[in-house]
Amino acid sequence: MDFTPVERAKLEKAQIHNWFDVSGATSSSIIRAGFSELEARDLLDRSSQLFPSAIRGQKVLGMTSQVLTTSLRRLDSLLGGGIWCGAVTDFYGEASSGKTQICFQLCVNAVQAGWTVLFVDCLGTFRPERIREMSIAQKLDPSKALSRINVLRVHSSHDQIECVRDLVRRKRDYEKTILIVDGLADHFLTEYGTQGLIPRQSSLYRHLIDLSRLALNSELAVVVTNGVRSRLDATEQFVEAGGNATTHVIHCRMMLSRESARFTARILQPNLFSPKLYFTVTADGIIDATE
């Protein structure tokens, strides 16, 4: 499929040189090039046949308009409002650094906002009694709150991968839905060990690609938690489990740590001027803490 000589002459004057340029153009810009409204629509229809998976920037902006609060005002401010749909947000840190507590808070906040929760429990960390405690603190009916949280327990990396791919295959509208994967890399690390580094990283990377595509294409928010591993041959004492596989796909990364009763969150991606904040975990949930 090619342009007619008349079409090409008009499009060239508007700096539109090929079908890919047409797929990214607006109807008004094509009309200004000398086409009628009907002809512009026909050109855009023809370009969509060549690039069926293309999404216009305006649609992407609309897809990422939903946001969920974390209950931490400073964190929400740094994140532009909270946890965004159409993006993968990663909280990683050592054990007892607050990762799962943030997930529980997001579950309760999502229910309060009328969202649906999909909780992929990789390590058996989901505690309904904690959800109940937080729900009561926010004056929610605990039974109704728990009924809006769908817990998916996975026992292997294969289960984890297929769980996400099943969500992709369903092609449902996941508007106002948050998908939480608590313990992203643990099954991969346990099953592959150190001998299978390349296949492990490849498998984990493909899993993260699936999560990213699900977030972008299905308009839902994705939150993952991850552990750390020691790195004695570098200046950093700990690095995120899974290595570079996580840094290339995840849109927002936060490193959590604990200082006695106070928790610290440091934003690593995107790179911000003032990335550090403090919070505490109480019976009612997570709250801001002063420096």
141 and 49 co-located in one domain: no
- Here the CATH number for the domain that contains residue 47 is 1.10.150
281 and 224 co-located in one domain: yes
What average pLDDT is seen over the chain?
86
Note whether 138 and 131 are within 8 A (CB). Answer: no
Question: How many domains would you assign to the chain?
Answer: 2
Domain end marker among 54, 69, 84: 54
Lowest-pLDDT choice from 41-50, 150-159, 198-207: 41-50
Q: Which helix (H) or strand (E) holds 117?
A: strand 116-121
33 and 107 co-located in one domain: no
Question: Which residue, among 106, 111, 100, has the nearest Cα to 84 in the 3D structure?
Answer: 106
84 and 43 co-located in one domain: no
161 and 266 co-located in one domain: yes
Q: Each residue of 118-131: b (16+ CB within 10 Å) or e?
A: bbbbbeeebeeebb
126 and 199 co-located in one domain: yes
What is the extent of the structural domain holding 247? 58-288
pLDDT band at 235 (very low <50, low <70, confident <90, very high): low
Backbone angles phi, psi at 29, to 5 degrees: -70, -35
pLDDT band at 79 (very low <50, low <70, confident <90, very high): confident
CA–CA gap between residue 259 and residue 244 (Å, rounded): 27
82 and 192 co-located in one domain: yes
136 and 36 co-located in one domain: no
- Here the CATH number for the domain that contains residue 266 is 3.40.50.300
- The answer on pLDDT for 161 being more than 60 is yes
pLDDT band at 113 (very low <50, low <70, confident <90, very high): very high
Give 192's contacts (C-beta < 8 A, 6+ positions apart): 157, 199, 200, 203
pTM of the model: 0.77
107 and 199 co-located in one domain: yes
12 and 119 co-located in one domain: no
pLDDT band at 231 (very low <50, low <70, confident <90, very high): low
Q: How far is CA 171 from CA 149, 164, 174, 210, 215, in A?
A: 20, 12, 9, 13, 12
What are the tens digits of pLDDT across the range 15-68? 888 887 787 777 788 888 899 988 988 888 888 777 655 555 555 555 556 899
45 and 114 co-located in one domain: no
Mean pLDDT, rounded, for 211-220 = 88
32 and 77 co-located in one domain: no
pLDDT band at 109 (very low <50, low <70, confident <90, very high): very high
The confidence score (pLDDT) of residue 65 equals: 64
